[in-house]
Chain A
């Protein structure tokens, strides 16, 4: 579904990602962990199509296509979803209107008829229940005046509405209390299917108690220095990142 080869990315001449490789297949959940500043959010942004960055080398293939041939909105319509670390406030644009436009642009792209108002409302009700969202939320402006937890829940709600093939959740757990964390994780788990995939970017192991990953990768200084199963997350929680860094350093030296 997603193949990243030797990806090297810089911003204002500073290299952030240094020859990163990753392979994500349908039905898989990948967790990307790593200390601050290792390039986790940059990776998410580049995949989603943020044009602040220069891609110096390497390639990303999404659903068999070169991802860089598609602008951000095409990637989204092709089923890519980025859950933002810092969801943006859009005053005056209601969530319902926003989602209806997004869904219908996607449907148009896929050659489907737009959802009627009634159909849309039905889908929205269903998804609101799925992610345990209060009914009033949909009529509010996107993220405006939302608490941190509400913003993150709203990201998961949008994900539920858009039913992505590949969802990338960038630090969706940061700033959440345990109850909100459970709601978010629950939403993600309910949306899990055999034909979609999820990349969870996180700092802490605790989210991975609720979203069980198939693979855990450690991103450090712009590349993935260690990959393993879900037990790697536990190990990282217990021992920190230093041992992985040392191991990687030793590997490089050898």
Chain B
């Protein structure tokens, strides 16, 4: 039995799909539209995720769908001067910067840029027109719409987002920074779609920032598919600093070929409701797949990280480390699953989730999970939910540190294990200082992307250090 909100929302989407057919299909390739139709059928049959599904047991979408959302199937943003509403002050982080406003690519220069090394960066909608073969070769291949309902929904309505293609052997030396801004008068429902391809031996670093410049209700269901071909290296950093009224579902699908290296970092500093789904197919030998996450939540914020790492071939290595600090009535969910298929001998897979609860009302649900069908593997998993060590607290106080400082130091230390994994030094420093500010209660949600945007009405969220 679906609840009324969910049913109404689903019906609305089914109706919109037909009514707006022409706009939605736009200039998409026939292949994309076939994938779309298939995904639409999935959504029609399965609907929204339900708390009856194991992976959504602690994360209920229903209340969030009880809003009259506004949908926008044509790009209103292309001519927008984004600098007027958002200026990016990235002084020591030199990036190739892309902005999406309300899910649409903002045409700052050109919709698609081809760098001298052959790398293509730009709008997915435009890429479908200009490079249809390249798009068709990859799009949807790694996206499991039968298993993931929100991925089916995104695919049914896919129109625009970021497209990156890095040719064989090319090292994109500047990180590509994607700034996802939500700024609307009405409650918007957005579904950006990103397609990232790193061809053989290519190297790419992607910094992905999710922001809201408004305190209006919004719902974002974003999907990113990343293809790392043989010996490619992809570093992906996702920084989430969203308003209290925003709901964010991110679907990330990674497909790794032989010898490829992937690092994914998801840093959730704020967010009313956040569900991050990461699905990795390690479809080659000697791959390395590292997944780090940090979430700092308070008030009634909710964050859910769901990871499925699928070892399909032998001799690869994966690691997951997710850590969180929860204050007030915040809730967090971690479900990490490692599947080692019977072909994936000599797999090494580790996962760990550690939580610190600052109040009795904060809640963390953690489910590390291993499913192993091969017999020659090295796997481990672990999870902790605890409070700051009182022995360490007294030790620090006995050296003259007040409780507040001692607690801050311990929390920053706890978080830094994840922050240290960020390999871009400038970004690491910035995130580290953001985490420190966050833990001191000094970070506003609208510190600009990597990050200090100036909101007209900055909101501060405090993790109250005087508790415990």
Chain B contact residues: helix, strand, loop or mixed: helix
Q: Does A87 contact B (CB under 8 A)?
A: yes
Q: Does A219 contact B (CB under 8 A)?
A: no
Provide the residues of chain A in CB contact with B403, threshold 8 Å. Answer: 73
Contact B391 A73 (CB under 8 A): no
- Please measure, in the bound complex, the distance between the C-alpha atom of A236 and the C-alpha atom of B16, giving whole angstroms: 91
- Please measure, in the bound complex, the distance between the C-alpha atom of A93 and the C-alpha atom of B412, giving whole angstroms: 8
Q: Which of A49, A91, A99, A103 contacts B413 (CB 8 A)?
A: A91
Contact B399 A102 (CB under 8 A): yes
Q: Does A120 contact B (CB under 8 A)?
A: no
Least CB distance from B450 to A in Å reads 23
Q: Does A36 contact B (CB under 8 A)?
A: no
- Please measure, in the bound complex, the distance between the C-alpha atom of A48 and the C-alpha atom of B403, giving whole angstroms: 15
Q: Does A84 contact B (CB under 8 A)?
A: yes
Q: Does B414 contact A (CB under 8 A)?
A: yes
Q: Does A65 contact B (CB under 8 A)?
A: no
Contact B397 A98 (CB under 8 A): no
Q: Does A50 contact B (CB under 8 A)?
A: yes
Provide the residues of chain B in CB contact with A93, threshold 8 Å. Answer: 409-410, 413
- Please measure, in the bound complex, the distance between the C-alpha atom of A212 and the C-alpha atom of B413, giving whole angstroms: 40
Contact B389 A105 (CB under 8 A): no
Provide the residues of chain A in CB contact with B392, threshold 8 Å. Answer: 88-90
- Please measure, in the bound complex, the distance between the C-alpha atom of A48 and the C-alpha atom of B405, giving whole angstroms: 18
Question: What 1/0 mask marks residues of chain B from 398 to 433 whose CB sits below 8 Å from any chain A CB?
Answer: 111111010001101110110000000000000000
Contact B397 A92 (CB under 8 A): no
Q: Which residue of A lies closest to B415 (CB)?
A: A92
Q: Which residue of B lies closest to A51 (CB)?
A: B394
Contact A76 B413 (CB under 8 A): no
Q: Does A109 contact B (CB under 8 A)?
A: yes
Least CB distance from B295 to A in Å reads 17
Q: Does A217 contact B (CB under 8 A)?
A: no
Question: What 1/0 mask marks residues of chain B from 85 to 120 whose CB sits below 8 Å from any chain A CB?
Answer: 000000000000000000000000000000000000
- Please measure, in the bound complex, the distance between the C-alpha atom of A187 and the C-alpha atom of B402, giving whole angstroms: 27
Q: Which residue of B lies closest to A94 (CB)?
A: B413
Least CB distance from B54 to A in Å reads 32
Least CB distance from A46 to B in Å reads 12
Least CB distance from A135 to B in Å reads 21
Contact B399 A158 (CB under 8 A): yes
Question: What 1/0 mask marks residues of chain B from 367 to 398 whose CB sits below 8 Å from any chain A CB?
Answer: 00000000000000000000001011011111
Interface size on A, residues (CB 8 A): 30
Within 8 A of B (CB), among A19-53: 48-50
Contact B401 A48 (CB under 8 A): no
Q: Does A101 contact B (CB under 8 A)?
A: yes
> A50-B394, A72-B394, A101-B405 given as contacts; is B413 within 8 A of A92 (CB)?
yes
Contact A105 B405 (CB under 8 A): yes
Question: What 1/0 mask marks residues of chain A from 6 to 27 whose CB sits below 8 Å from any chain B CB?
Answer: 0000000000000000000000
Contact A90 B400 (CB under 8 A): no
Q: Does A183 contact B (CB under 8 A)?
A: no
Within 8 A of B (CB), among A105-119: 105-106, 109
- Most central of B391, B396, B405 by chain A CB within 10 Å: B396
Q: Does A249 contact B (CB under 8 A)?
A: no
Provide the residues of chain B in CB contact with A105, threshold 8 Å. Answer: 400-402, 405
Contact B391 A88 (CB under 8 A): yes
- Please measure, in the bound complex, the distance between the C-alpha atom of A102 and the C-alpha atom of B395, giving whole angstroms: 11
- Please measure, in the bound complex, the distance between the C-alpha atom of A101 and the C-alpha atom of B409, giving whole angstroms: 10
Provide the residues of chain A in CB contact with B398, threshold 8 Å. Answer: 48-49, 72-73, 76, 81-82, 84
Q: Does A139 contact B (CB under 8 A)?
A: no
Q: Which residue of B lies closest to A106 (CB)?
A: B400
Contact A88 B395 (CB under 8 A): yes
- Please measure, in the bound complex, the distance between the C-alpha atom of A84 and the C-alpha atom of B398, giving whole angstroms: 10
Least CB distance from A87 to B in Å reads 7
- Please measure, in the bound complex, the distance between the C-alpha atom of A125 and the C-alpha atom of B90, giving whole angstroms: 36
Least CB distance from A141 to B in Å reads 8
Q: Which residue of B lies closest to A143 (CB)?
A: B395
Q: Which of B395, B409, B417 contacts A97 (CB 8 A)?
A: B409
Q: Does A128 contact B (CB under 8 A)?
A: no
- Please measure, in the bound complex, the distance between the C-alpha atom of A162 and the C-alpha atom of B384, giving whole angstroms: 35
Least CB distance from B76 to A in Å reads 46
> A88-B392, A92-B414 given as contacts; is B400 within 8 A of A102 (CB)?
yes
Provide the residues of chain A in CB contact with B410, threshold 8 Å. Answer: 90, 92-93
Within 8 A of B (CB), among A190-226: none
> A77-B400, A90-B413, A105-B400 given as contacts; is B405 within 8 A of A84 (CB)?
no
Contact B409 A73 (CB under 8 A): no
Provide the residues of chain A in CB contact with B405, threshold 8 Å. Answer: 101, 105
Contact B399 A162 (CB under 8 A): yes
Q: Does A71 contact B (CB under 8 A)?
A: yes
Least CB distance from B381 to A in Å reads 20
- Please measure, in the bound complex, the distance between the C-alpha atom of A240 and the C-alpha atom of B394, giving whole angstroms: 34
- Please measure, in the bound complex, the distance between the C-alpha atom of A71 and the C-alpha atom of B409, giving whole angstroms: 19
Known pairs A88-B395, A90-B395 / 12 extra A-B pairs, C-beta < 8 Å: A49-B397, A72-B397, A73-B400, A82-B398, A88-B389, A90-B409, A92-B410, A92-B414, A93-B413, A105-B400, A105-B402, A162-B399
Closest 7 CB pairs of A and B: A92-B413, A76-B400, A88-B395, A72-B397, A102-B399, A93-B413, A77-B400
Q: List 15 A-B contacts (CB under 8 A).
A: A49-B397, A76-B398, A81-B398, A84-B395, A88-B389, A88-B391, A90-B395, A90-B396, A92-B410, A93-B410, A93-B413, A98-B409, A101-B401, A162-B399, A162-B400
- Residues of chain A whose beta carbon lies under 8 Å from any beta carbon of chain B: 48-50, 71-73, 76-77, 81-82, 84, 87-93, 97-99, 101-103, 105-106, 109, 141, 158, 162
